[in-house]
Amino acid sequence: MGMVAGTHGSTFGGNPLAAAVGSAVLESVLEPGFLERVRDMSLRFKQKLAALKDEFPHIVEDVRGSGLLTGIKVKPPMGDVGNACIAEKLLTVGAADNVIRLLPPLNVTEEELSEAVRRLALAFARLPKAA
């Protein structure tokens, strides 16, 4: 016996707003040059983070990731680094292995990446040198 009316449903099934949002995202991602720009922003972001690693070797152990999804393996406790980032109004996400993740959107601007790195530097400067 197959499904009958009322036996299968979905809270967000057929949601016109979600469909419109999905359509708008696809339109943006499929624009010529979009993915090349994402690759360019990713490279610039990694370069800025590598400079932070050089400036704060007592904080940053490694910078890793793919595209704009970036992880920074830190030497101090991740909670301390996360709290310093919050104090600088920078939202990060914790991950395993003492890594903080940065998740900028694919349409991030270079100015926004620079501002994030600036705030990250201020957060790292809040942490003690002896970790």
Q: Is residue 58 part of a domain?
A: yes
Q: Which two tokens stand for residue 113?
A: 């990446």
DSSP 50-100: HHHHHH-TTTEEEEEEETTEEEEEESS-HHHHHHHHHHTT---EEETTTEE
Query: Residue 42's domain spans which residues?
Result: 16-126
Query: What CATH number has the domain bearing residue 83?
Result: 3.90.1150.10
pTM, two decimals, is 0.80
Q: Is residue 5 part of a domain?
A: no
Q: Is residue 6 part of a domain?
A: no
Q: What confidence tens digit (pLDDT) does each residue in 34-74 have?
A: 999 999 999 999 999 999 999 999 999 999 999 999 999 99
Q: Which two tokens stand for residue 42?
A: 């990713």
Confidence grade of residue 131 (pLDDT, cut at 50, 70, 90): very low
pLDDT of amino acid 6? 67
The number of domains in the chain is: 1
- Contact yes or no for 78/127 (Cβ under 8 A): no
pLDDT of amino acid 87? 97
